[in-house]
Amino acid sequence: MDIELLAKKMREHALRIEAEQEQIDLSERKRRQEQLDALKKLYFNAGRWAGGARDRLAKQCFEKITHAD
């Protein structure tokens, strides 16, 4: 096999792998950010309950945190 052709194929393969990995990394970062945002919202609303707010959402969030294992 021609060494130039082999090098070209290997380079193209490496670029495809890199592009796929970047796509996976982006989706993973997005998923983690969504989880973090949900956790922040939970703590915020639980803190409102602890601070005196008496709405249903604040109570539910407070109960989730206090009953978490």
d(CA 36, CA 33): 5
DSSP 48: H
d(CA 3, CA 10): 10
pLDDT tens per residue across span 12-60: 999 998 888 888 888 888 999 999 999 999 999 999 999 999 999 999 9
Domains of the chain: total: 1
Is the pTM higher than 0.75? The answer reads no
Domain that holds residue 28: 3-66
Ramachandran sector of residue 2 (left: φ over 0; alpha: ψ -120 to 50; beta: rest) = beta
% helix, strand, coil for the chain, step of 5: 85, 0, 15
